[in-house]
Amino acid sequence: MARNVTEKLIASHLVDGTLTPGDEIAMTVDQTLTQDATGTMVMLELEALGLDRIRTDLSVQYVDHNLLQTDEKNPDDHVFLQSAAQRFGLWYSKAGNGVSHPVHQAHFGKPGATLIGSDSHTCAAGALGMLAIGVGGLEVAMAMAGQPLYVTMPEVWGIELTGELPDWVSAKDVVLEMLRRHGVKGGVGRVIEYHGPGLAGLTAMDRHVIANMGAELGATTSVFPADEAARAYLEAVGRGDDFTRLVADDEASYDITEHIDLSDLEPLIARPSSPGNVVPVADVADEEVYQVVVGSSANPGLRDFAVVAEILNNRQTHPRVSVDINPTSREVLADLVSGGWLSSLVASGARVHQSGCLGCIGMGQAPASGRNSLRTMPRNFPGRSGTEEDSVWLCSPETAAAAALTGRITDPRTLADSHGISYPRPEMPESFSTFDAMLLAPLPEDQAREVELIKGPNISSLPDFDPLPDTVELPVLLVMDDDVSTDEIMPAGSRVLPYRSNIPRISDFCFERIDATYPRRAQQQQGGHAVIGGENYGQGSSREHAVVAPRYLGLRVVIATSFARIHWQNLANFGILPLEFADPADHDAVNQDDVLVLDGLHEALKNGSELTATIGERQVRLRHRLSDRQVQMVIAGGRIPMTAQMA
Ligand code: MIC
């Protein structure tokens, strides 16, 4: 039977289920990645599971998010993570080495393999023909313990690419075009597979850009074939031997089909404050700009910095604008030095920062209130930058460089006339720098057993998770609208991230952006509570703190019109029951402080997907999409207590 790349990847790792969209399937996991902001919880989970040594082919712990060291908390986390990596047998990428996704691709990316990561942008590795899925930390911990990954079998959405990108239009504009067409919910329940003759003009790093922001579309992941571009990339990072060709069969088909003619694309930009608010740059030209940030997992390739450097070469950045350059990794930094690009950036007035996620996650680089900040980053949810009234736009490196020069949002295609700049096509080196000094290999097993986990005073153990009662009577503490992101449920940023390994403390910040009284009101309820969401509830990151912290405060049930994939799975993993309104109109009839009553819950959950609840005075029909395994898990109180019961 003819298969597309996604089906080949899934079929070769399938241990349970069939390739029928909507069914739960289980797959073996070859590799995992964790980053520091989610990794501390994962390591605590490994400890709670009593794991001796990881069972994946390889697992890597990166430190790229919590890089500010304003007190002992973040560095204590780094020390803890290094000790845990040594204890359990992981690779360890030290603070400052670089952003996890591109570093992972360069050192470990392997066509045909599966990768899961406790970061929603793990999907970027689809660029090399991997099946790479962002998930909650507990899924990663379980995979390291040798368990398969459970996901809902997605539909495969074939995007045929034809044509060639015009001058001043680059890979970021391709994924912004996807977001312009489909918005932040467009990819839910789907894998996006790119194919067609247009692929020939896209390098592996261009594909990484496109695959990365599949997360913004809500997709399970994005997949590219492993073809000549993947081979060229692997050779350039000195790992040509890891190349295996993986392409769709000639007769392969897709559940959904669509076409993009790359030649028709123009520079695009996502307006504040959602990656889905995409418009042509030309439509918003002339808005004043105060900050331009180049870097992050969304535009991490050497080319993405070099193109900015060539536009700024022998020119000055606009006096009003702070131009911040966050080189993806020390390897990219070294190549920027040897290509002469770093000097152009420095001479133009750009501020060069260390390698890491930095302002993308509000770890510094907060913009001034209400002032436009243009970023080559993947997300701009409200307040994520660290500034309460922020105004963050997402764009390509070309559009970022144009604004850096002019101080205004500028269609980069106009630079030819206004500044006499012809479109730079920076020549990439034959081989990219690769450094191992800050990427520490796992310790041999006998030495690993001797390692003690080093926990600073801010690192607390996981709370206990009690079973879900058969009858619940829960006040509704929040009623929310559509597209609530995890940044609104559990903020990131330099104030909050240092508490990622301290659930009691981080719970004080829950839903802060929506209703700062929530933690106090939640703690006043003895018997737990519920919250209500709209469509696409929990979009964005994979952070399981957005479920563990509210669970710690007593959250037992979330009813939404629909859920984002990772958050839905995280809720079930931690024993919070995710239910959907059978009739979306019922969402509007619920009021804060109504009481939700669910009776005979265990049988109802086991017997099918429909349930009836009383909310306030009304009977409301609800449904769930949990598999039998997940029902059992939610009733047990989550995956950790269920695993303990089975041991
Ligand atoms: C993000 O981009 O939102 C993050 C920060 O990388 C998150 C992970 C986290 O919250 O630590 C993600 O994408 O999953």
**Tens digits of residue pLDDT in 428-476:** 999 999 999 999 999 999 999 999 999 999 999 889 899 999 999 999 9
Atom of ligand 1 nearest to the CA of 497: 11
Partner residues linked to 226 by β-bridges: 246
Nearest CA to ligand 1 atom 3: 541
Position 270 scores a pLDDT of: 99
CA dist 331 and 97 (Å) reads: 8
29's tokens = 């996991």
Mean pLDDT within 308-325 = 98
Q: What's at 66, amino acid-wise?
A: N
Contacts with 24 (C-beta within 8 Å, 6 or more apart), sequence order? 17, 150, 151, 152, 153, 627, 629, 630
Nearest CA to ligand 1 atom 9: 543
Mean pLDDT within 511-519 = 97
Report CA 244 to chain centroid distance, whole Å: 26
89 pLDDT above the threshold of 90: yes
CA dist 185 and 567 (Å) reads: 14
**262 neighbors 292 (Cβ within 8 angstroms):** no
How far are the Cα atoms of 118, 248, 363, 569 from residue 135, in angstroms, in the given order? 5, 26, 22, 8
**376 neighbors 301 (Cβ within 8 angstroms):** no
CA of 608 to the centre of ligand 1 (A): 34
CA of 413 to the centre of ligand 1 (A): 33
Give the angle 124-130-131 at the CA atoms, nearest 5°. Answer: 85
CA of 166 to the centre of ligand 1 (A): 32
Atom of ligand 1 nearest to the CA of 134: 14
CA of 136 to the centre of ligand 1 (A): 10
CA of 566 to the centre of ligand 1 (A): 12
Atom of ligand 1 nearest to the CA of 490: 10
Position 645 scores a pLDDT of: 84
| Helices then strands, each counted (H, E), the chain | 24, 27
CA of 542 to the centre of ligand 1 (A): 6
**403 neighbors 321 (Cβ within 8 angstroms):** yes
Nearest CA to ligand 1 atom 11: 37
CA of 213 to the centre of ligand 1 (A): 12
Position 644 scores a pLDDT of: 85
CA of 41 to the centre of ligand 1 (A): 13
Mean pLDDT within 37-64 = 96
Pocket of ligand 1 (CB under 6 A): 37-38, 65, 119-121, 134, 361, 379, 492, 540-543
Mean pLDDT within 193-213 = 98
Question: Ligand 1, residues 38, 42, 99: which to mutate, most atoms within 8 A of Cβ?
Answer: 38
CA of 474 to the centre of ligand 1 (A): 30
Position 461 scores a pLDDT of: 86
Question: Ligand 1, residues 363, 384, 541, 548: which to mutate, most atoms within 8 A of Cβ?
Answer: 541
**99 neighbors 124 (Cβ within 8 angstroms):** no
**Bridge pairing between strands 31-35 and 114-117:** parallel
647 pLDDT above the threshold of 80: no
Q: What's at 215, amino acid-wise?
A: A
Atom of ligand 1 nearest to the CA of 543: 10
CA of 143 to the centre of ligand 1 (A): 19
CA dist 555 and 518 (Å) reads: 11
Nearest CA to ligand 1 atom 7: 541
| ω into 273 cis (within 30 of 0) | yes
Mean residue pLDDT across the chain: 97
> What Rg do the C-alpha atoms of the chain give, in angstroms?
24
CA of 120 to the centre of ligand 1 (A): 6
Report CA 533 to chain centroid distance, whole Å: 21
Q: Is 224 helix (H, G, I), strand (E, B) or coil?
A: coil
pLDDT, one tens digit per residue, over 519-570 is: 999 999 999 999 999 999 999 999 999 999 999 999 999 999 999 999 999 9
**439 neighbors 107 (Cβ within 8 angstroms):** yes
Atom of ligand 1 nearest to the CA of 545: 10
CA of 646 to the centre of ligand 1 (A): 31
pLDDT, one tens digit per residue, over 605-643 is: 999 999 999 999 999 999 999 999 999 999 999 999 998
Terminus-to-terminus CA distance in the chain, angstroms?
40
Atom of ligand 1 nearest to the CA of 38: 11
Position 104 scores a pLDDT of: 98
Nearest CA to ligand 1 atom 12: 541
Atom of ligand 1 nearest to the CA of 540: 3
Position 191 scores a pLDDT of: 98
119's tokens = 């970061």
Position 478 scores a pLDDT of: 98
CA of 119 to the centre of ligand 1 (A): 5
Q: Is 583 helix (H, G, I), strand (E, B) or coil?
A: coil
CA dist 582 and 605 (Å) reads: 15
CA dist 575 and 558 (Å) reads: 11
Q: Is the pTM of this model over 0.95?
A: yes
Contacts with 203 (C-beta within 8 Å, 6 or more apart), sequence order? 229, 232, 233, 301, 303, 428
CA dist 78 and 196 (Å) reads: 43
Nearest CA to ligand 1 atom 2: 541
Nearest CA to ligand 1 atom 1: 541
CA of 507 to the centre of ligand 1 (A): 17
Contacts with 638 (C-beta within 8 Å, 6 or more apart), sequence order? 465, 572, 573, 574, 575
Question: Ligand 1, residues 35, 40, 119, 297: which to mutate, most atoms within 8 A of Cβ?
Answer: 119
Question: Ligand 1, residues 543, 545, 548: which to mutate, most atoms within 8 A of Cβ?
Answer: 543
pLDDT, one tens digit per residue, over 362-408 is: 999 999 999 999 999 999 999 999 999 999 999 999 999 999 999 99
Give the angle 462-124-109 at the CA atoms, nearest 5°. Answer: 90
**37 neighbors 28 (Cβ within 8 angstroms):** no
Which residue has 């243009």 as its token pair? 374
Nearest CA to ligand 1 atom 4: 541
Residues above pLDDT 90, as percent of the chain: 98
CA of 134 to the centre of ligand 1 (A): 10
Question: Ligand 1, residues 33, 74, 120: which to mutate, most atoms within 8 A of Cβ?
Answer: 120
Q: How confident is the model at residue 243 (pLDDT cuts 50, 70, 90)?
A: very high
Phi-psi domain of 287 (left: phi exceeds 0; alpha: psi -120 through 50; beta: other): beta
Report CA 198 to chain centroid distance, whole Å: 26
Please report which residue ranges of 183-288 form alpha helices under DSSP H: 204-212, 228-236
**281 neighbors 412 (Cβ within 8 angstroms):** yes
Nearest CA to ligand 1 atom 6: 119
CA dist 263 and 163 (Å) reads: 5
Q: How confident is the model at residue 45 (pLDDT cuts 50, 70, 90)?
A: very high
Q: What's at 221, amino acid-wise?
A: T
Nearest CA to ligand 1 atom 5: 361
